[in-house]
Structure 1
Amino acid sequence: MIPLDDSPQAVALRTAYDQQIRTRPGSANGGTIDRFDALIRKVGFEGDGFVQYLGGADGPELDQLIADQVAFFRERGVKFEWKYYTHDLPADLPERLTAAGLVPDEEECLLIGDVAELQADVVLPDGIRIREITERADLERMQAMEEEVWGYSHDWLPDALSRDLADADEPAVVIVAETDEDVSKVVCGSWIRFHAGTEFASLWGGSTLAEWRGKGIYRAHVAYRRNLAVERGYRYLQVDASPDSRGILARLGLRPVSVTIPYIWKP
C-alpha cells in the first residue's frame, strides 16, 4: 500500500471531505435516508443498507448505536455496510464493529486532489477517442466491457448509471474510450458525480480491457473528468481507489489521506 499523506495540505483536504461529503445525506436513489446526530443511515431501493458514521460517540453509547443499526437491518432481513475510515475515532471502533458481528471487507484508499494541481491534458494513444454517453445502448456496451474485465455480471450497471445521469442532486457524466477501428468496442469506461452544494466531485469506474492497459487511457479519463469538474466550478476530486489504481492516482497528484474499510453485516 502507498503510504498515507499526513502533510498539512492533506489533512486540510481530508477535513474538507469530512465536513462537506460525509455529513451530506446525498441521494437515496429510490430508497430512504434517516439522519441522526452520530450517523446517516440509508436503505437502498433494492433493500441493502449503508451507514455513514459522523463521529461523536464512544463507550457504551457507541456500542448501543452499533447494536441499534444491527437490530434495524435484522428486522428487515437485509445486509448493510458501515463505512469505516482509518482516521475515525475512537481508535477501537473496528473492534467494536467486529464484536457486533460486522465483518471487514476489502479496503480502499481515499485520495483527494485540488483540481488546480492535477493534470489537465487529455493524452490518448492513436486510434482511441473519449466520448460522453447517455443512451441505453452505450451503457450496455460499457456493461459488456466491465464483464469482460471482471469476469462476472454487471447487469445492474445500465440501470444504476441511468439513475445517476438523471439525479439532480448528484448529477453524473459517463465517459467511454473507444477505438476508431471498432466504434462498438468500449476499451475503458468511467463516470464522475458532482455533489451539489459542495466543492467536491467524485470519480468512479475506470476499468480498462487488459490489452489496452499501460497506454495512458485511464490517465486520460482522469484528466477528462478533472476538466469537467473545473468547467462546473468544483475545486476537489475525490476517489475511493482500489490497489490497481491508487498508485496511478497518487502519481497524478491526488493525495492518499485515509483508508476506507466496509464493515458488512448480513442476516
Structure 2
Amino acid sequence: MNHEEVLALFDRQLRRDAHADGRGTRVERDGDVVRQVGADHDWNGVLWSDLDQSTADAAIRAQMRYFATLGREFEWKAYAHDRPGDLGRRLKSAGFTPEPQEAVMVAPVRDLPTDTALPEGVHLRPVTDTAGVDLVAAVHEQAFGVSSARLRQRLLTQLAQSSETISMVVAMAGDLPVCAARMELNPGTDFAGLWGGGTVTAWRGRGIYRALVAHRARTAADLGYRYLQVDATDESRPILQRLGFTVLSTTTPYIYDPHREA
C-alpha cells in the first residue's frame, strides 16, 4: 500500500468531496472549508479545509458564526497533515476544546482476516431495527462510560432514512450484549469506515473486538470496497496493527459549543 497515494485518496474521497452521511444532512462548501450540517443529533462539523497562515483565523471565525446561528455544537476534525501546521493551536485559541487524538488507520480489505472466531456461547446479531439499536446504545454506554442518547437517535435516523450507508452488529452472550460495532459505508468511494467498536469490561481480552473487525472486513469485501479506515484509540491501535492496519495520519476532534460561550 502506497502511503502517500492512499492518504491523498482518503482526503479527496472522504473529506474534500465528501457526501452527506444521511438524507437529513447536507455537505456544504464555504470557500476553502467543507462542512456537514444536520439536526442537533447528527454529526455537525468541518470535514476538510485548505487554509494557510493568512486565511485560517478568518475561516475559523466564519464557521463559529455559522454554527452559532444554527445553535449547533460542532466539531472541527483536524488532521496532523492539515495546513497550516498550527491549526490546532488556532482552534484552541478561538475557544475550541480538543478531545483525545486518534490514529487514522487504513488496511486493504483483501489483506484482512475474515474469520469471525468467537468465544463459546457468543454469537453475532445483525442490527436492523430499534431493538438492535438499543443494544448498540447499551454497549456504547458501558464500554465508553458516556451517554448514548444522541448516538441512538442518529443511528435510528440513519436506519430509517439511509440504511444502505450503515452496517451494525452486536455480539451477544446469550441475551447479554457484550460488544457492538458499526461500519459506515461510503458509496462511490474506495473506503468503508469502522466506528464504535467497544466491548464491555468483563468481556475484554477474549478476541471479540477482533472478530467484529473480521466480520466487517468480510462485509466490506462482499460490497466491493478496497480499504477499511478507522480512527483508532490507543486501546484499539495495537489490535488493528496486528491485523494489518497502518497509520496514515492522526486526527484530533476540536469541539465548539456556542451555548457555552453565551
Aligned equivalent of 2:257? 266
1:31 CA drift (Å): 3.9
Aligned equivalent of 1:210? 201
Please give the secondary structure, in 1, of the residue aligned with 2:27.
Answer: strand
CA change 1:168–1:137 in 2 (3 A) is: closer
Is residue 134–residue 162 contact of structure 1 (8 Å, CA) maintained in 2?
no
CA change 1:91–1:202 in 2 (3 A) is: same
1:34 matches 2:34 = no
Q: Distance in 2 between matches of 1:190 and 1:112?
A: 17
Q: Which amino acid aligns with 1:91?
A: G
CA change 1:144–1:34 in 2 (3 A) is: same
Q: Distance in 2 between matches of 1:136 and 1:77?
A: 28
Q: How many residues align?
A: 256
1:198 matches 2:198 = no
Is residue 22–residue 162 contact of structure 2 (8 Å, CA) maintained in 1?
no
Aligned equivalent of 1:5? none
Q: Choose from 2, 12, 18 the match for 1:9.
A: 2
Aligned equivalent of 1:120? 114
CA change 1:143–1:76 in 2 (3 A) is: closer
Q: Distance in 2 between matches of 1:123 and 1:164?
A: 29
Q: Distance in 2 between matches of 1:138 and 1:66?
A: 39
Question: What TM-score, normalized to structure 1?
Answer: 0.87
1:110 matches 2:104 = yes
1:137 CA drift (Å): 1.5
1:98 CA drift (Å): 2.6
Q: Which amino acid aligns with 2:98?
A: P
Please give the secondary structure, in 2, of the residue aligned with 1:164.
Answer: helix
1:101 CA drift (Å): 2.5
Q: Distance in 2 between matches of 1:243 and 1:88?
A: 21
Aligned equivalent of 1:50? 45
Bigger mean CA offset, 205-214 vs 144-153: 144-153
Q: Distance in 2 between matches of 1:21 and 1:29?
A: 17
1:130 matches 2:124 = yes
Q: Which amino acid aligns with 1:84?
A: A
Bigger mean CA offset, 132-141 vs 30-39: 30-39
Q: Which amino acid aligns with 1:78?
A: R
1:36 CA drift (Å): 2.9
Q: What CA deviation, in whole Å up to 9, does each residue of 1:55-90 have, x standing for no partner?
A: 1x3132222111211222233443221110001122
Q: Choose from 218, 224, 241 the match for 1:227.
A: 218
1:171 CA drift (Å): 1.3
Q: Which amino acid aligns with 1:192?
A: M
CA change 1:156–1:97 in 2 (3 A) is: closer
1:185 CA drift (Å): 0.9
CA change 1:77–1:162 in 2 (3 A) is: closer
Structure 2 gap ranges (5+) = none
Q: Distance in 2 between matches of 1:71 and 1:149?
A: 35
1:201 CA drift (Å): 0.4
Structure 1 runs of 4+ off > 6 angstroms? none
1:170 CA drift (Å): 5.8
1:91 CA drift (Å): 1.2
1:91 matches 2:85 = yes
